[in-house]
Amino acid sequence: MLAAALLAACQLVATALIDFGHLPVSTPVLGMFLLLVLLARLGETPNGLRQLTSWLLRWLTLLFVPAGVGVMLYLEPLRNQWIALLITMLLSTVIAMAFTGWFLQRLLARKGDADGD
């Protein structure tokens, strides 16, 4: 129960920050960032949060159903702009993979430095 309250609190704080600060970022992205900062400060994932997120991930595919319906509703505009969409998806995938690799290398280097002390 505490884990669900933590997730809801991150979402609520993100909503408030975006509404009051007029930030150009989506609420779920900011909420996940706040959760990341909180977990980084804790140094570990609480067991209840680990169990809740495992359960949520198990049912994640159901969350894509509304997005699939939305795609079907706007199929004609998507057909007209498929090249731009394809380029955007490929470019964003390459950028995300490159950033993830770079970030992982930095984390591993930091861990290696900490192990060497």
pLDDT digits (tens, 9 = 90+) for 9-49: 999 999 999 999 999 999 999 999 999 999 999 988 999 99
> Domain residue spans in the chain?
1-58, 71-117
Q: Do residues 30 and 14 touch, judged by C-beta distance below 8 A?
A: yes
Phi/psi-derived region of residue 31, left when phi > 0, alpha when psi is between -120 and 50, beta in every other case? alpha
Residue 108: pLDDT over 70: yes
| pTM, rounded to two decimals | 0.58
Structure tokens given for 80:
């007209």
Percent of the chain with pLDDT over 70: 98
Q: Is 14 exposed, middle or buried (0-12, 13-18, 19+ CB in 10 A)?
A: buried
Strands (E), the chain: none
